[in-house]
Amino acid sequence: MAEKIEVKELEEVVVRFSGDSGDGMQLAGNIFSNVSATVGNDICTFPDYPADIRAPQGSLTGVSGFQVHVGAEKVFTPGDLCDVLVAMNPAALKTQYKFAKSTACIIIDTDCFQKSDLEKAAFVTDNPIEEMGIKQDVIAAPITQMVKSCLEGTGMDNKAMLKCRNMFALGLVCWLFNRDLSVAETFLREKFAKKPEIAEANIKVIHAGYDYGHNTHSSVSYTYRIESHAKTPGRYMDISGNKATAYGLIAAAEKAGMHLFLGSYPITPATDVLHELSKHKSLGVTTMQCEDEISGCASSIGAAFAGALAVTSTSGPGVCLKSEAMNLAVITELPLVVLDVQRGGPSTGLPTKSEQTDLLQALFGRNGESPMPVIAATSPTNCFDAAYNACKIALEHMTPVVLLTDAFIANGSAAWKLPNLDEYPAINPPYVTEEMKDNYTPYRRNPETDVRYWALPGQEGYTHILGGLEKDGNTGAISTDPENHNLMCHLRAEKVSKIPVPDVKVMGCVDDADLLIVGFGGTYGHLYTAMEEMNKAGKKVALAHFSYINPLPKNTAEVLRRYKKVVVAEQNLGQFAGYLRMKVDGFHPYQFNQVKGQPFVVSELIAAFEEILKK
């Protein structure tokens, strides 16, 4: 054992925690992310857990993982492969080893590598390291036994003690990267505020893991430090995409001077938005957990009619069920934000995994001519801005808006600088004016924007009726007149097409790229990183990433026609590429399509794009 261990400076590191669903890997990963963000590092996380409520202990299908990429500079992805792999049992080692670099450090709990554990994970020998051909450094620690020794005399039973194993592994990782444990202590005391004895037990175990690494040097030659480079001054927090979405909705309601209403039916991976908003009644937020998806949407439409900022949240299967009610918002022209946190499909599909397969459903998945703006968030922190902008469009243009996120960015997290709401644009709903009193009809419109004026129930002199039957554009009465219906369909479509959205920005080799990468939504980090690495390697590549899908930015056609080769990369079988071909005459892109339920792998993107450059 070396007397003094060397500390190496790193620019970035990727750590992956893995174990049984009940081993607390998500909590360990979250705490390490918080510790890293607090010292000023940038982070990007990827919780990767099974859909099983609780798979059999030690089974290959029940492994839960949490990957975090920590950087001195800005990081955009959770990383392709990890530098440190924590595998709490044989099943975790077997399923997660493929995510480890050839130079990775692997931490295992030897107490959980007994014969029965190895058999559950389908190992045929009693030496899984040799059987898998693992050549990397392995820290083989008797974690379970040391946790029990650490907590002896606390009065905790065996089951409660074993729940602290994740904290020992976390302490060991914190030692490996010279992390201050005070942030972890604060996190645990806040999380277990109602059970202080649990908090203190976990804190004791974290220190035991840290001390084990420090005292034994744990079979490694170095420990590491990631120093933060200059950051914009301000207050930062580690925030998930779902929490950022909830905060963006609250901010929009505050800016518009309105109450926020969420009607929702719980569904993975969108439920956390309901959970978060339900905590903020003091900010004028009302949440209703409904009995089904239809009532979730319908109750929100009722709230919109009454004058609230109305939101309904769901995932792909729920959008299918909500479609009739969403169309009611289209024909009544009421403001509504429909949050779709996309997951793997079709049907129940992959409830905890991520895809971009709801795009065409969001654009066209309703009966009749049903135009609806569609916005796609690009990262966990961008969910705040995307939610704010979706609310602004819905309220100012009297239309339902679909906000697309996905399981990757919704569950993932990043360091987020708390915004100054004064810097965000005003939200000005088109309320009726005094001049319209006693002469108001519900589809009287602003001639420049085609947006109808909004009268709230109870306003004297503005009595009106809305409903799902087509209405006369002048009187607001029910109408089956062919010319009127044709006019109203055109007006609803033109209203959406007139919504002003920012131009799509081209990044990278803007003027002379040999290849333009095109994407939308939550793939931004991976596509940007692929472009950046190719630029560093001397390849002339640019990226145009879309947040506004309907309407598309005004410069879309000009950007797409500017480059000889264009590849549209998306996590579906070509929905955005097909939509762009529909909208831009003569556009024939290359396509990169994966539907794996997992984020893109940057190295795979680069390999595919390099092949296109050779053609």
Concatenating the DSSP letter of every residue in 216-283 gives HGGG-SEEEE-------SS-EEEEEHHHHHHHHHHHHHHHHT--EEEEE---TTTHHHHHHHTT-GGG
- Whole-prediction pTM: 0.94
The helix (run of H) or strand (run of E) holding residue 46 is strand 42-48
Rounded CA-CA distance 563/565 in Å is: 6
pLDDT in tens, 538-568: 999 999 999 999 999 999 999 999 999 999 9
pLDDT confidence of residue 533: 97
Residue 215 has pLDDT above 90, yes or no: no
Residue 454 has pLDDT above 90, yes or no: yes
pLDDT confidence of residue 456: 96
pLDDT confidence of residue 3: 52
Average pLDDT over residues 454-483: 96
Cα dihedral 524→525→531→532 (10° resolution): 140
Nearest to 177 by CA among 225, 222, 210: 225
**β-strands 548-550, 374-376: how paired?**
antiparallel
Other C-beta atoms within 10 Å of 554: how many? 12
Concatenating the DSSP letter of every residue in 442-505 gives TT-B-TTT-PBPB--TT-TT------SS-B-TTT-SB---HHHHHHHHHHHHHHHHT---PPPP
Helix axes 143-150, 196-216, angle to 10 degrees: 130
Average pLDDT over residues 20-27: 92
pLDDT confidence of residue 487: 98
Strand-pair partners of 70: 13, 43
pLDDT confidence of residue 1: 39
Rounded CA-CA distance 606/615 in Å is: 15
CATH code assigned to 506-614: 3.40.50.920
Other C-beta atoms within 10 Å of 395: how many? 26
Average pLDDT over residues 352-362: 97
Report how far apart, in Å, the C-alpha atoms of 371 and of each of 215, 367, 390, 493, 521 are.
Answer: 65, 11, 15, 6, 20
pLDDT confidence of residue 4: 61
pLDDT band for position 119 (cuts 50, 70, 90): very high
Average pLDDT over residues 175-189: 93
**β-strands 222-225, 6-9: how paired?**
parallel
Contact 513, 563 (CB under 8 A): yes
pLDDT in tens, 391-420: 999 999 999 999 999 999 999 999 999 999
Rounded CA-CA distance 162/121 in Å is: 20
pLDDT in tens, 293-308: 999 999 999 999 999 9
Helix/strand/coil for 297: helix
Rounded CA-CA distance 310/300 in Å is: 5
Listed in sequence order, the residues at least 6 apart from 466 whose beta carbon sits closer than 8 Å to its beta carbon are 305, 332, 334, 442
Listed in sequence order, the residues at least 6 apart from 377 whose beta carbon sits closer than 8 Å to its beta carbon are 241, 245, 383, 385, 386, 387, 403, 404, 405, 409, 521, 522, 547
Report how far apart, in Å, the C-alpha atoms of 572 and of each of 91, 382, 575 are.
Answer: 30, 21, 7
Average pLDDT over residues 375-381: 98
Question: Regarding the domain delimited by 6-225, which CATH topology (the fold level of the hierarchy) does it fall under?
Answer: Pyruvate-ferredoxin Oxidoreductase; domain 3 (3.40.920)
pLDDT band for position 224 (cuts 50, 70, 90): confident
Q: CATH 3.40.50.920 occupies which residues in the chain? A: 506-614
Residue 22 has pLDDT above 90, yes or no: no
pLDDT confidence of residue 52: 78
Q: CATH 3.40.50.970 occupies which residues in the chain? A: 237-423
Average pLDDT over residues 192-211: 95
Q: What CATH class has 237-423?
A: alpha beta
